């Protein structure tokens, strides 16, 4: 049986046709969001008719349409609109409207739709962003997992860093929605998800085709074009992007980025499929951090660059397919993907510390092919009078990495190879998930995940560092959900997760720069344990709020450092914090949102005066206002603040705090849209990111100087956009 929601034609004559809703899905109605203002639905409740019947054919629906028009009900939800639909207070979904209302100075800021997340940059537009969440310096993604249309974006055993996460291949205008979850409580996500995960989904079709032109200061130019059309039974979506940027740097970035997307999708009442092809290429000149002492002495200004020839280029091509179906007692989904990826990075972070004559520039390069897939089957049933859902899932991924290398270079010319390897890495994940509604206002979600890894390393520079290793890990999960009472739910979450370490570190036996010096290998899989209590409430009219208190512990580990080709010890760590997120809609034309995240991160096996976790962000504040004004005008403002960032274990060096304000205003009608964005409105001169380590400038004594090295936020800049619809 399916439920169809109809309303009389004279009430909402312009609404599109309804689609069936499976009433056995968890939260099938409590999580649904009508595409009508709730106040309007409440005011017209006498017009609503619930019709229960077997699955209705398309012909029958067409006949009924002569008499009735349908209210569209979707099974999506916003972060605070998810009563009955999530298993934790820190999980949610962000819809297209909110994503498109955020002015983005760089594509990595898409991650900031996850409350408490920060995306920064330390080496130019083309390189992966640095991400921060829940006291983790995620480097480029070691403990935060992201997938786009079911294709994982994190790269294990990457030339630059474990879990390298580059989102530059995403076209923000084509993202339809994103769902996320923080903490290790979700059985269907495995590697790199200790701090959380996000999944982005592109649109199946567009209401209108468009061409968008953007221009701004510092030679910023970008063009995006996209459209969709009926093709056979489905929809064909196609889009392309080209972007160029020099930036405020004394050495211009000269970055160029090219993206393309082709997607065919088909959706029937009980099944659907999609086929997606993507292509991306970029090249750029790097803008690496500069030491504070060089700026203080006048050797270089804040936007200068001490390196020579730093930069990179990268390409990514992917093809994927997804299929889903559902019936009265089940649903299933499967997707398969193939990815080709390559990257060349040239970086110099220490200048003349190791090589006084030629400099310390390194080249990190690799090519890889990724093959994999995901499948899940869910059954809905009853036992002992209880509603019970059971799910089984399997995820397989194989990375064939060719010529992953660390080289010493000067002006992009290699003069020494530290190590060069071929790697085959396979991960098979199996999981089960059970949901039971024990009482009307109490349900549990329990899960168990098992992951098995095989690491196969063929070292071309030192045979002793070759080898084959395997490892397995099990990750239990449990969520207790109470309510709702007074439109408020309460959550208790427990779980374990992990991240894998670089395969080269797993089989490492000797220092590649000193073949007779033994080195310990890293643990293949590093376990994390977490707990959380939280609530989600819509008790006050127009206000959605979530509050979470959380704790996490990471096991002792050794980390493979891609910039050096060796390992770096790190002890056990513990993090805890509080997160408070709010969305308030006092009127139909104004939306306000605000978030506060406070985190404490410490090493647990270090003395009290040296237990700070470097680059853990202790405070994040975000706030925004979106105004949909009469006659097509719109405006918005966003504030982003982060601070309390220790740069070393003693916390004697601090990254300071950074506050950025952005504004957007414009006009839109059916034919075109005009928008003006102002980034860094207050012209902050603080740090986008900072580090504390030793480096040596030309003329300084051997051994180098410990110093703060920072990458500044970009100055105030204005960008104007014109979008033409057709």
For residue range 101-113, list pLDDT tens digits in order: 888 999 999 999 9
- pLDDT category at 8 given cuts 50, 70, 90 is very low
pLDDT in tens, 145-199: 999 999 999 999 999 989 999 999 999 999 999 999 999 999 999 999 999 999 9
The pLDDT of residue 608: 85
The pLDDT of residue 85: 85
The pLDDT of residue 140: 82
The pLDDT of residue 570: 76
Nearest to 328 by CA among 274, 382, 267: 382
Mean pLDDT, residues 584-588 taken together: 94
pLDDT in tens, 336-350: 999 999 999 999 999
- Give CA–CA dist 27/38, Å, rounded: 18
User: Among residues of the chain, what percentage have pLDDT more than 70?
Assistant: 87
The pLDDT of residue 557: 61
More confident residue, 343 or 37: 343
**Lowest mean pLDDT, pick from 11-15, 121-125, 470-474:** 11-15
pLDDT, mean over the chain = 87
- pLDDT category at 17 given cuts 50, 70, 90 is very low
- Give CA–CA dist 52/167, Å, rounded: 44
Contacts of residue 477, defined as CB under 8 A and 6 or more positions apart, other chains included, come to 184, 185, 186, 187, 433, 445, 446, 447, 448, 449, 494, 495, 496
The tokens for 724 are: 């033409």
The pLDDT of residue 566: 58
Supply the pTM of this predicted model: 0.87
- pLDDT category at 705 given cuts 50, 70, 90 is very high
Residue 133 has pLDDT above 70, yes or no: yes
Find out if CATH 2.40.170.20 is the number for domain 198-725. yes
pLDDT in tens, 525-571: 999 999 999 999 999 999 999 999 999 999 876 555 656 655 576 78
The pLDDT of residue 577: 97
The pLDDT of residue 52: 34
The pLDDT of residue 141: 81
pLDDT in tens, 380-394: 999 999 999 999 999
Mean pLDDT, residues 472-493 taken together: 97
Residue 247 has pLDDT above 60, yes or no: yes
Count of CB atoms within 10 A of residue 221's CB? 15
Give domain limits for the chain.
1-75, 198-725
Ramachandran sector of residue 302 (left: φ over 0; alpha: ψ -120 to 50; beta: rest):
alpha
Mean pLDDT, residues 434-449 taken together: 97
Contact present, 339 and 317 (Cβ < 8 Å): yes
Residue 71 has pLDDT above 90, yes or no: no
The pLDDT of residue 563: 60
The pLDDT of residue 70: 36
- Give CA–CA dist 151/145, Å, rounded: 11
Residue 32 has pLDDT above 80, yes or no: no
- Give CA–CA dist 453/649, Å, rounded: 32
pLDDT in tens, 392-436: 999 999 999 999 999 999 999 999 999 999 999 999 999 999 999
- Give CA–CA dist 204/262, Å, rounded: 10
Mean pLDDT, residues 49-76 taken together: 36
């Amino acid at each position: 049986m399916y439920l169809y929601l109809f309303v009389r034609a004279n009430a909402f004559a312009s609404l599109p046709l309804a689609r069936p809703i499976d009433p056995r899905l968890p939260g099938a109605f409590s999580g649904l969001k009508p595409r009508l203002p709730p106040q309007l639905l409440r005011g017209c409740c006498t017009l609503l008719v619930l019709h229960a019947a077997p699955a209705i054919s398309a012909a029958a629906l067409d006949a009924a349409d002569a008499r009735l028009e349908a209210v569209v009900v979707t099974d999506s939800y916003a972060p605070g609109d998810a009563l009955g639909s999530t298993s934790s207070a820190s999980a949610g979904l962000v819809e297209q409207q909110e994503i498109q209302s955020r002015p983005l100075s760089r594509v990595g800021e898409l991650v900031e739709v996850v409350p408490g997340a920060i995306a920064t940059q330390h080496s130019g537009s083309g390189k992966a962003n640095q991400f921060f969440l829940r006291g983790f310096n995620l480097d480029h993604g070691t403990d935060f997992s992201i997938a786009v249309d079911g294709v994982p974006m994190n790269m294990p055993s990457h030339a630059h860093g474990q879990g390298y996460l580059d989102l530059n291949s995403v076209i923000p205008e084509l993202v339809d929605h994103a769902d996320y979850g923080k903490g290790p409580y979700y059985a269907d996500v495995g590697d790199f998800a200790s701090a959380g995960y996000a999944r982005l989904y592109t649109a199946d079709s567009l209401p209108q085709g468009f061409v968008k032109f953007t221009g701004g200061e510092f030679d910023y130019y970008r063009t995006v074009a996209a459209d969709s059309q009926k093709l056979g039974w489905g929809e064909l979506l196609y889009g392309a992007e080209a972007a160029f940027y020099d930036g405020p740097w004394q050495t211009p970035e000269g970055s160029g980025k090219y993206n393309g997307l082709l997607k065919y999708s088909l959706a029937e009442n009980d099944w659907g499929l999609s086929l997606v092809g993507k292509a991306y290429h970029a090249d750029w000149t790097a803008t690496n951090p500069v030491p504070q002492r060089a700026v203080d002495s006048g050797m270089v200004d804040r936007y200068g660059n001490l390196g020579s020839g730093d930069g990179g280029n990268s390409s990514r091509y992917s093809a994927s397919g997804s299929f889903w179906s559902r019936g009265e007692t089940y649903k299933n989904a499967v997707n398969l993907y193939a990815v080709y990826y390559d990257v060349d990075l040239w970086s110099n972070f220490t200048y003349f510390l190791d090589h006084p004559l030629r400099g310390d520039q390194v080249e990190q390069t690799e090519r890889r092919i990724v093959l994999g897939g995901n499948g899940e089957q869910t059954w809905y049933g009853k036992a002992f009078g209880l509603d019970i859902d059971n799910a089984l899932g399997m995820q397989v991924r194989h990375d064939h990495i060719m010529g992953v290398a660390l080289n010493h270079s000067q002006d992009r010319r290699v003069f020494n190879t530290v190590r060069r390897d071929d790697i085959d890495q396979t991960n098979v994940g199996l999981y089960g998930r059970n949901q039971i509604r024990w009482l009307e206002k109490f349900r549990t979600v329990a899960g168990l995940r098992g992951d098995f890894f095989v690491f196969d390393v063929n070292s071309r520079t030192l045979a002793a560092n070759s080898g084959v290793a395997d490892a397995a890990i099990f990750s239990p999960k449990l969520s207790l959900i109470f309510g709702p009472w007074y439109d408020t739910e309460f959550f208790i979450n427990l779980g374990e997760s992990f991240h894998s370490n670089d395969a080269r570190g797993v089989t490492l036996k000797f220092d590649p720069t000193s073949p007779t010096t033994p080195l310990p290998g890293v643990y293949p899989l590093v376990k994390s344990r977490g707990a959380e209590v939280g609530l989600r409430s819509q008790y006050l009219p127009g206000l959605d709020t979530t509050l979470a208190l959380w704790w996490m512990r990471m096991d002792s580990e050794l980390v493979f450092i891609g910039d050096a080709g060796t390992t770096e010890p790190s002890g056990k760590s513990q993090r805890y914090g509080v997160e408070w997120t709010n969305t308030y809609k006092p009127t139909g034309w104004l939306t306000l949102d605000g978030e506060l995240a406070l985190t404490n991160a410490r090493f647990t096996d270090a003395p009290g005066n040296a237990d700070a976790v470097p680059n853990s962000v202790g405070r994040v504040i975000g706030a925004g206002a979106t105004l949909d004004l009469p006659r097509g005008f719109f405006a918005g403002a966003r504030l982003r603040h982060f601070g309390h960032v220790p740069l070393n274990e003693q916390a004697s060096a601090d990254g300071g705090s950074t506050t950025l304000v952005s504004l957007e205003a414009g006009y839109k009608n059916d034919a075109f849209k005009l928008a003006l964005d102002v980034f860094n409105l207050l012209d902050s001169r603080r740090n986008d990111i900072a580090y504390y380590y030793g480096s040596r400038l030309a003329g300084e004594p051997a051994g180098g100087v410990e110093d703060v090295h920072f990458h500044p936020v970009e100055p105030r800049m204005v960008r104007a956009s014109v979008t033409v619809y057709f």
